[in-house]
Amino acid sequence: MNNHDLQQEAEKILNHHVQFLAQFEKIDNDSFEITAFILKSLSNILKPLPKILVTDDLELNKRRLFEAYNLISELKYNLEFLFPNETLFGEPLIAYADCYPMTYAKQLKKW
């Protein structure tokens, strides 16, 4: 796992966000609470990722990606716990969260 690998992973996560946001045409009242929760969570996940793309400090980027992975895991847990039967865009919420790449999660936990 080198800095380029971490940058590619950050790009994949950011791309997943863009694809998710592109699905929104409108937010109906029935899904407003869920949508607001997810968007707030996404903003926290996104914070460290752009810095990975422009920084060559491998140790710092490992920490940033580790932080993003933890927030993605927390989002998955919260969606399962708070909204176990809810859907968005016709899909279970957990299916959305499961699409995030977590390629280096095990390695970073050991790091």
Specify the residue for token string 């992973």: 9
Short-list 23, 22, 11, 6, CA closest to 66: 6
User: Could you tell me which residue, 105 or 29, shows the higher pLDDT?
Assistant: 105
Tell me how crowded residue 85 is: count the other CB atoms within 10 A of its CB: 6
pLDDT value at 23 more than 80: no
Instruction: Report pTM.
Output: 0.82
Which pair of tokens denotes residue 81?
């716990």
Short-list 103, 99, 73, 79, CA closest to 10: 103
Q: Where are the domains of the chain?
A: 3-110
